[in-house]
Chain A
């Protein structure tokens, strides 16, 4: 029996956390895993913090992830990644989008906090999404980076995307996912970033 893999996806309302969670979990089902997903709807969707928890393996009981046990935290921006930091297990990996946080409340105030985690991968999700022509696709770049980290092949996910993403958005979003998976410069270990 393989142990469960636990993932937290965190962002703010309207940035596609729920969409990406849906693709991820449907793809995992297609791959034959037992899957549980926890989301909270309602009040939390009015522009505030939004997160989802996804767990997969041979047999999953709890839809909630215990503190200190998440294998991956996917932060759609730096603030939301840090909010869930204590859920990461010691050997777990943070995947953080380098989002443009220019509001004074956030700017330049939280970057240093990532040094405490053993494994951090910075992803230029926002920049890459812009290059593909749609800033809103940063969520798919992040999904791509996660799938890459999990060691999955692109093919399954292409068909999952085709099934669950509306036709008119498919091309852009699949491209963003692919760039998230494949591009070397996307994944930079934290040490390199601090040298920049």
Chain B
């Protein structure tokens, strides 16, 4: 049987075939589809956890109790999960544990382009890097074997082009998955990471790494493709495909499926064959550093960029100095992503923007787009959960250096559950008078409308407890008088709330609640709005909202009837009463 699969779908297939039964993850591009795909296989338990640290710990518990488990996350998610990640090498596994890190070179949909291969060497666990969808499936199966054989978690690293590209995958359709579990032994002392035990474990890990290195030297996916000895290229991941695209079989290639622990013997063998060695890898000089440490002369980051993602033309130019004739490019206007028409965020941002004395600490989600043209309501965006804690720090500076500003935090529902709650607890406990706006659109939208603890549904769509944000906020110590719940499409109410909040001398929470426009449950709009061009004076108040249904045609503002969702926010901002129900 063969099928066209995204790398992420192939990882799900492989994990299923490997009898992985427990999967816990938090969504994040480009990793999300792995969990979505595996959740439909029979006989697996898959869940959305509130964040990556929780997800990794759930997977850790499952593997120790004797069942193969998986956790998947985007590259920055591994930062959140770094504490259990580093300690799991010491803890050891029982049944296999695989951690998928989906990196995003080129920053298609992230805050940075960190190279998570370095986590493998830092946390002392083996690293596998598939180059295609087929390898995504096959290597996951091997990852579980390696994990159990060497009693270690395995880091499985993909990139956007591996996770989101599709290729043909061959697999056995009616494969009977062998249900083998491991027994759990109670009171096994190695699992208590106390200093005396960890010191012993560290020695064992170092010895284990030598064994894994010996395995790495014989690992079938660390392979030398012999051709002319003139040029030898060492590569891994998607870069391998680009190298083959450019050079075909004209150069020798050392392809590394497992680049940590580094297969030193394989590298020596290759160096003895190839006269000039290039290292072609995306991101950091990870392989290159290992080669150079061994004294193998090679050229890598001198000619292959650290920043951005690679592609065939970068590699061709760098090594052969050739390039194809191209038509000269035409400068066309960029069409960046925007908030949807009817999105509740438009109303809240419009109310906040009227105050020049508000500093707005943003967070990660669709609402981050409130920092871009024409809304430009946000001052900072750092990482998930940072809005509340950064707001606290900024507000506190005014004890010493008054700016006459009030600091507001803007955080989505999923992000609040992910890592906003502790920030809020801190602000309340230490009495920092910030305003926290929780943008509750009843969905984890940016990554494709996943469920979260507030939606009352699980990954599979079955009903669950609805965790009410207002209950959490009150439990964390916000006084009932300092909590407002509003619908941001009601501008007057929203403006009043923002005003009250701004003058509060205590921590204050606004829950801005309006369901996401992209939710399937959303009904068709019952009304639409139009602009009366006779009374419209082109003041552009409505265009500044950032609504994507509002367009300029023949120098007149109009509302595109195909896009209008009837939210009426534009009608409420129009000072000339020129916007009417159609």
Q: Which residues of A contact B (CB under 8 A)?
A: 12-13, 25-26, 29, 34-49, 60-64, 66-69, 79-80, 82-83, 85-90, 102-107, 110, 113, 116-117
Contacts and interface: CB of A to CB of B under 8 A. Distances in A.
A35 B164 contact: no
Given A35-B166, A47-B548, A64 B326 contact: no
Contact of A37 (B4, B238, B324): B4
Contacts, number: 153
Contacts of A87: 326
Interface stretch (B16-24, B337-345, B393-401): B337-345
B324 A43 contact: no
Interface stretch (B51-59, B262-270, B458-466, B552-560): B552-560
Contact of A41 (B3, B313, B448): B448
Nearest to A36: B167
A68 B312 CA distance: 11
Contacts of A29: 2-4, 168
A85 B329 CA distance: 6
Contacts of A64: 161, 242, 311-312
B554 A83 contact: no
B523 interface: no
A61 B326 CA distance: 22
A43 B110 CA distance: 8
Given A42-B108, A68-B327, 4 more contacts: A48-B337, A49-B336, A102-B554, A116-B327
A118 B393 CA distance: 59
Nearest to B312: A66
A38 B161 contact: yes
Nearest to B166: A37
Contacts of B553: 102-104, 107
Contacts of A63: 161, 165-167, 238, 241
Interface string B1-40: 0111000000000000000000000000110110000000
A62 B167 contact: no
CB-based closest 6 A-B pairs: A68-B324, A46-B337, A42-B109, A42-B29, A62-B245, A63-B165
A49 B337 CA distance: 8
Q: Is the interface of A mostly helix, strand, loop or mixed?
A: mixed
A86 B328 contact: yes
B329 A86 contact: yes
Interface string B222-246: 0000000000000000100110110
B327 A86 contact: yes
A66 to B, nearest CB: 4
Of the listed residues A26, A66, A110, the one surrounded by the most CB atoms of chain B closer than 10 A to its CB is: A66
A48 B335 contact: yes
B49 to A, nearest CB: 20
B404 interface: no
B383 interface: no
Contact of B338 (A34, A46, A79, A80): A46
Nearest to A4: B245
Contacts of A42: 29-30, 108-109, 446-448
B338 A48 contact: yes
Given A13-B337, A103-B553, A105-B333, A66 B324 contact: yes
B515 to A, nearest CB: 17
Contact of B555 (A41, A44, A104): A104
B165 A113 contact: no
B223 to A, nearest CB: 15
A146 B329 CA distance: 23
Interface string B542-565: 000000100111110000000000
Interface in B236-295: 238, 241-242, 244-245
A46 B368 CA distance: 12
A151 to B, nearest CB: 22
Nearest to A90: B325
Contacts of A105: 333, 552
A68 B324 CA distance: 6
B298 interface: no
Contacts of A110: 330, 332
Nearest to B8: A41
A54 to B, nearest CB: 9
A158 B64 CA distance: 51
Contacts of B528: none
A89 B32 CA distance: 35
Contacts of A113: 330
Contacts of A34: 168
Contacts of B336: 48-49
Given A61-B245, A66-B311, A67-B326, A26 B552 contact: no
A86 to B, nearest CB: 4
Contact of B323 (A68, A88, A89, A116): A68
